Structure 1
C-alpha cells in the first residue's frame, strides 16, 4: 500500500470546502431544528455538487470532504455523510432501475436517504438481526397490481418476483423517521446468523412503515422505525437474497475510514481553538502557552491528531487501491481517529476552562458531537475485534 500525501489540488479543494462550510452551509445549519432533517442544508450540498461526488469519487475524496466540512460545520458534514451511507448500497448493489430512480434525487438533495441496520436488540452484533422478511404469496405488489403465485420456494417464483412482508423494528437510525428511502436489512432465513440477511430498498411511503424521532445528545436527526407487515418484492432487493450482510459490510468498509475523517476534522478544530486560546490567555504572569504542562499537552493533542489523520488516509488509499486488508485498515482508522478526537476535544475543554462548557461555545458543541462516533458504525470494541480477527486470519489461525 502506497503512502498518502495531499496533492496541491487537494489542499486547495480542502480550503475551498472549509470556506463553503463556514460561509454557505453553517448559516443554513444554524437555522435548522435540532434532531430534524435539515432539507435546506441537504439541498445546498446538492447544489454545490458535493452529494454527487459521493458516488463519483473514491474513499480519499470522501474523507477529504468529511474532514473539511467537519472542521467548519459538523451539521453539514453529517448531512453529507448520511446521504452517502444511506444511498451507497443503491449505488454499489442496486439494479439499474433502483439507481436511475433514487441516485439523481439523492445527489440533488431532493431525496433523503437512510441506512437502517441497527435494532433494539442488535446494535454491534449485526448478525443477530431480528427484523423478519416473511414470504407473502398472497400480497399484491407495492404498486397495487396483482402478484403472481409463488412456487414451493419461499424466496423465489419462476413466474414473477418474490414478495415478503417486513415485520419488526429498527432503532438508532440516522435521518429516521424523515428519510424518503431506507436501506433496510432483514432476516430472510432464520437461524443462519449473518448469512440469512437480505438488504431491501424501502421507500418511506410503503404501507405499514412508521417511525418516531429520538432525542439524543448530539443534534443530528435519529429515530426508530416500526415495520408492520411492510410489503417488498424482489424488485426492492439490493444485491442478492440472503447476502445482505455483504452489502452492509461493503458499505461500512468505505464509510468507517470516513467516520475517522469526521473525527479528525473535529479534533483539528479543537486543536486550533486551543492554540489560539493558550497563545492569548494571560495566566500566572504570562501566557498559558508558557506553562510547560500546557505546551506539552498541546503538543500531545497535535501528535495524536496527525497520527489519526495519517491512519485515516492510509485506510482510504487502501480502499481505493483494492487492497486485500481493507477491513483491518478501516477498523484501525475508525478506532484510532474517534478515540483520538475524544481525547483532543476533552483536553481542549480542560485547557479552556469553564467558558468551553457554555452553551454555544465551539468546544461545547464538539464535546457533544464527538462522543457518538465511538459507537455508531461499529463501536470501538467491535473495531478491536475486527482487527484481531484479521490479524489472526493472516496467519491462518482463528482468534
Structure 2
C-alpha cells in the first residue's frame, strides 16, 4: 500500500510514523485473514487480542485521564482503521467494535469505572459492546424503550436490544436505557455474563460482523455502574457516534484504496482486443474516477479528525460529511473495480467480491446515509428559518 497520501498537512510526522509502523505490522500478522469471513466472532477476537498484545490499542484511548480534556487522537484512529480495512475487513471489525464499546467509559466514565475496565480492554481481556439500537429504535435512537427503574442503590434494566456488535460474546455491554423516574436516557456498564441477559439470535449479515438481538430481564446494576450522570445517556451516545463516524469513513477509504489497487493490477494484467484493458479509455476513465474519489474521501476524513485533534471541536456536520461521502464513494469505487474484473469480480471469495459485500453495510451502520443527509441539511439551514 502506498502511503503517499499521508503527506497531507492534516497529518503530523508522528502520524506518518504510526502509519508506517502499523503497516509493517499488519503485513505479516494479518496476511491470509481476508478470506476468513469470521461470522462467529472468533477470528475478530483473535485479532483483537493480537492488537492488544502488540500495544496498538493504547492508540485508541485518550492520552489523558482528565475527563474535562480527554485528548483523544482521532487521526490515529482513522489511520489504524484505514490500514486495517485495507488489509482485512475482519481486522477492522476487531479494532473498531471493541473501541466503540469502551469509548463511553473512556470519555465519560467515573475514575473507578475507567480503572476497572480500561486496563482489561488494553490487555485484550475485555471485549466491550455498544448497545443502543432496538427493534423499534434504530436511526431514531431517542425512541429507545429499554427501561431503567431505580431500586435501592441501583437500577433494574428491562428491554430488548438488537444490532449489537459482539452480541453473545461481549464481556461488557454499554447499555442505554430510559429512566422510569424522569424519562431521560442513561448509560450503564453491564457485565456480559449477567444471568439476566439472554441471547435471542445472531443475525447473519453480509459483512463479517457478529451482531444479534438480546434481552435484559430484570438485570440489576449498582449505581456505580452508571456512566456519566443520570439523564446524560443520549448525549453520551451521540458524542461517541460523532467521534466514530470519521473513523467509519476511514475504514471505507481503506476498502476503496484496496479496490483501486486491485483494479489497477487487473487492468494492467488483463488483455482484451489485443491489448491490456488499462489502455482502453473507458477503463482509464473508471480508474481516474476512483483516484478522485479516494483523494476526496481522504481529505474529508482527515480534515474532520484534524478539527477534533486541534481543539476546533469536531462538528456534527464535518463528521457526517466525512462518513457520508466516504462510504457512498467507496461503494461506487468497489463497484467499478468489480466491473473491471468482469466475470471474475462476482466469483465468491475473490477480493473485490468480498469488498463489495463488506462496504455496502457502511452506508447503513453507525448512522445511515439518510441520517447523515439530515444532519448536514439542518446545519446548512441553521439560522435561515
Same fold per superposition (TM over 0.5) = yes
Q: Distance in 2 between matches of 1:228 and 1:294?
A: 57
* 1:53 is aligned to 2:68: no
Q: Is the 8 A contact 2:161 2:213 kept in 1?
A: yes
* 1:376 is aligned to 2:376: no
Question: By how many angstroms is 1:33 displaced?
Answer: 4.0
After TM superposition, the score normalised by the length of structure 2 is: 0.91
Question: By how many angstroms is 1:17 displaced?
Answer: 2.1
Q: Is the 8 A contact 1:28 1:40 kept in 2?
A: no
Q: Distance in 2 between matches of 1:294 and 1:87?
A: 44
Q: Is the 8 A contact 1:172 1:222 kept in 2?
A: yes
Q: Which moved more, 1:317-326 or 1:234-243?
A: 317-326
Q: Is the 8 A contact 2:89 2:208 kept in 1?
A: no
Question: By how many angstroms is 1:190 displaced?
Answer: 7.6
Q: Which moved more, 1:207-216 or 1:251-260?
A: 207-216
1:83: which partner in 2? 98
Q: Is the 8 A contact 2:100 2:240 kept in 1?
A: yes
Question: Structure 2, unaligned stretches of length 5 or more?
Answer: 1-7, 64-71
Q: Distance in 1 between matches of 2:223 and 2:149?
A: 13
Question: By how many angstroms is 1:121 displaced?
Answer: 0.8
Q: Distance in 2 between matches of 1:75 and 1:20?
A: 16
Question: By how many angstroms is 1:171 displaced?
Answer: 0.4
2:5: which partner in 1? none
Q: Is the 8 A contact 2:37 2:90 kept in 1?
A: no
Distance 1:371 1:28, change over 3 A: closer
2:86: which partner in 1? 71
* 1:206 is aligned to 2:221: no
Q: Distance in 2 between matches of 1:364 and 1:287?
A: 22
Give the paired residue count. 367
Q: Distance in 2 between matches of 1:299 and 1:191?
A: 55
Which residue of the other structure, out of 130, 138, 152, is the alignment partner of 1:115?
Answer: 130
Question: By how many angstroms is 1:234 displaced?
Answer: 1.5
Q: Distance in 1 between matches of 2:128 and 2:249?
A: 21
- Across the aligned residues of Structure 1 and Structure 2, the Cα RMSD in angstroms comes to 1.8
Q: Distance in 2 between matches of 1:27 and 1:103?
A: 30
1:24: which partner in 2? 29
Q: Distance in 1 between matches of 2:269 and 2:37?
A: 33
Larger radius of gyration: 1
1:169: which partner in 2? 160
Q: Is the 8 A contact 1:15 1:68 kept in 2?
A: no
Question: By how many angstroms is 1:317 displaced?
Answer: 0.7
Distance 1:238 1:111, change over 3 A: same
Which residue of the other structure, out of 35, 40, 45, is the alignment partner of 1:35?
Answer: 40
Question: By how many angstroms is 1:68 displaced?
Answer: 0.9
* 1:307 is aligned to 2:296: yes
After TM superposition, the score normalised by the length of structure 1 is: 0.88
Question: By how many angstroms is 1:114 displaced?
Answer: 0.6
